[in-house]
Amino acid sequence: QKEVEQNSGPLSVPEGAIASLNCTYSDRVSQSFFWYRQYSGKSPELIMSIYSNGDKEDGRFTAQLNKASQYVSLLIRDSQPSDSATYLCAVNDNFNKFYFGSGTKLNVKP
Partner 1 sequence: EADIYQTPRYLVIGTGKKITLECSQTMGHDKMYWYQQDPGMELHLIHYSYGVNSTEKGDLSSESTVSRIRTEHFPLTLESARPSHTSQYLCASSDIAQGNNEKLFFGSGTQLSVL
**Using CB under 8 A as the criterion, which residues of the chain lie in contact with partner 1 when the complex forms?**
1, 4, 8, 31-32, 34, 41-46, 49, 51, 86, 88, 90, 92, 96-98, 100-103
| Three-class DSSP labels, the chain | CCCEEECCCCEEEECCCCEEEEEEECCCCCCEEEEEEECCCCCCEEEEEECCCEEEEECCEEEEEECCCCEEEEEECCCCHHHCEEEEEEEECCCCCEEECCCEEEEEEC
Task: Tell the smallest beta-carbon distance from residue 97 to partner 1 (Å).
Answer: 7
Nearer to partner 1, 88 or 108 (CB): 88
Which residue lies nearer to partner 1 by CB, 14 or 84?
84
The nearest distance, CB 46 to partner 1, in angstroms, is 6
Residue among 14 and 39 whose Cβ is closer to partner 1: 39
* Closest distance of CB 57 from partner 1, Å: 18
